[in-house]
Chains A and B, each alone.
Chain A
Amino acid sequence: MRNIADDRVHLTREHAVELLRQMTRIRRFEEKCAELYTQEKIRGFLHLYIGEEANAVGVISALAEDEAIVATYREHGHALVRGLPMSEVMAEMFGKAAGSSRGRGGSMHIFSARHRFFGGNAIVAGGLPLAVGLALADKMLGIERATCCFFGEGAAAEGEFHESLNLAALWHLPVLFVCENNLYAMGTALARSQSNPSISTRAAVYGIASEAVDGMNVVDVEAAARRAVHAVRRGEGPRFIEAKTYRFRAHSMFDADLYREKAEIEAWKKRDPLTLFSDWALSAGVLHPDDRQEIEVDVAREIDTAVGFAEAAEWEPVEDLATDVVSPRPETEP
Chain B
Amino acid sequence: MTVRRMNYREAVREALREALARDKRVFLMGEDVNRYGGAYACSLGLPAEFGDERIRDAPLSESAFVGAGIGAALGGMRPIVEIMTINFSLLALDQIVNSAATLRHMSGGQFSVPIVIRMATGAGRQLAAQHSHSLEGWYGHIPGIRVLAPATVADARGMLWPALLDPDPVVIMEHATLYNDEDELPAEGDMSVDITKAAKRREGSDATVIAHSASVKKALNAAEMLAGEGIDCEVIDLRILRPLDDETIVASVRKTHRAVIVDEAWRSGSLAAEISSRITEQAFYDLDGAVERVCSAEVPIPYPKHLEQAALPQPQSIAAAVRKAMRR
Contact = CB atoms under 8 A, between A and B. Distances in A.
A323 B59 contact: no
Interface residues of A, number: 49
- Please report whether the interface of chain A is mostly helix, strand, loop or mixed according to DSSP: mixed
A134 B71 contact: yes
Contact of B108 (A68, A99, A123, A166): A99
Interface string A92-134: 0000000111111100010111000011110100101111111
A302 interface: no
A293 B23 CA distance: 56
Interface of A: 68, 70, 99-105, 109, 111-113, 118-121, 123, 126, 128-138, 140-141, 159-160, 163-164, 166-167, 170, 323-327, 330-334
Nearest to A131: B71
Contact of A167 (B23, B58, B111, B165): B58
Contacts of A118: 71, 74, 111
B300 interface: no
A134 B95 contact: no
Given A163-B63, A167-B68, A130 B110 contact: no
17 contacts: A101-B108, A118-B74, A126-B98, A129-B67, A130-B99, A131-B71, A133-B68, A134-B72, A137-B72, A137-B73, A141-B25, A141-B77, A159-B61, A164-B68, A326-B143, A326-B144, A331-B165
B109 A130 contact: no
Contacts of A136: 68, 71-72, 75, 77
Interface string B106-124: 1111111010000000000
Given A126-B99, A160-B63, A327-B167, 18 more contacts: A102-B108, A111-B111, A119-B107, A120-B106, A123-B99, A128-B67, A130-B67, A130-B70, A130-B99, A134-B72, A134-B75, A138-B75, A140-B27, A167-B59, A167-B61, A326-B143, A326-B144, A327-B168
Nearest to B66: A129
Contact of B71 (A111, A129, A141): A129
B65 to A, nearest CB: 7
B71 A137 contact: yes
Contacts of A159: 61, 63
Nearest to B25: A334
B144 A132 contact: no
Interface string B15-46: 00000001101110000000000000000000
Interface string B44-63: 00000000010000110101
User: Size band of the B side of the interface?
Assistant: 35 or more
B61 to A, nearest CB: 4
Most buried by B among A100, A331, A332, A333: A331
B110 A101 contact: yes
Contacts of A330: 162, 165-167
